[in-house]
Amino acid sequence: MQVAHRYITNKLKTMKVHFLSRGSGLYIWVNLKEYLDPCTFEEEQLLYRRFLENNLLLAPSWCKETGWFRLTFTNKSFCLKVAMPRFSEALTDKKQNWIEKQPEDALVESVSSPSTRRSSSSSSPSFRSSSFVNVDTSHF
């Protein structure tokens, strides 16, 4: 487990992803707030779905403070070596979509009048319960 922990934390440092590591346990808390714009529960769920699309299963914290995910490192080294590039790709795609979305949102906001702007929905999206990161290796 120490080797897996070291591997994951080194990858996170390389990716400049903020995390909390206590040196023991089964997972690492990763702070992905910078990938949420705005930093809301709905955006957290979108990032969670992006991980699922990349065959990754990270557990959002579902707590008062959005942006924190549990990344479980207690898995086979092969799975971790497959998972980390997928994780990086999912975050890169999310950040790129966010960058592309900003000018579009600014344009829409400047064109629409206050009476035509939509308010955000207050309904909570449905979500899956999960508590670990896993890689779908069924196709290998």
**What CATH number is attached to the domain comprising 65?**
3.90.1150.10
* CA–CA separation, 140 and 62 (whole Å): 32
Mapping DSSP to helix (H, G, I), strand (E, B) and coil, where does residue 41 land?
helix
Q: Is the residue at 116 inside a domain?
A: no
Is 54:82 a contact under the CB 8 Å cutoff?
no
Q: Is the residue at 119 inside a domain?
A: no
pLDDT along the chain (140 residues), means of 10: 92 95 84 92 92 91 88 91 94 71 48 40 34 46
Q: Is the residue at 76 inside a domain?
A: yes
Q: What is the pLDDT at residue 138?
A: 45
Q: What is the pLDDT at residue 89?
A: 92
Q: Is the residue at 88 inside a domain?
A: yes
Q: What is the pLDDT at residue 66?
A: 92
Its domain, for residue 22, covers 2-107
> Total structural domains in the chain?
1
Q: Is the residue at 140 inside a domain?
A: no
Q: What is the pLDDT at residue 106?
A: 43
pTM (2 d.p.):
0.66
Q: Is the residue at 122 inside a domain?
A: no
The helix (H) or strand (E) run that includes residue 72 is strand 68-72
Q: What is the pLDDT at residue 14?
A: 95
Q: Is the residue at 135 inside a domain?
A: no
Q: Give the residue among 31, 34, 38 at the shortest CA–CA distance from 63.
A: 31
Q: Is the residue at 113 inside a domain?
A: no
Q: What is the pLDDT at residue 97?
A: 67
Q: What is the pLDDT at residue 133?
A: 52
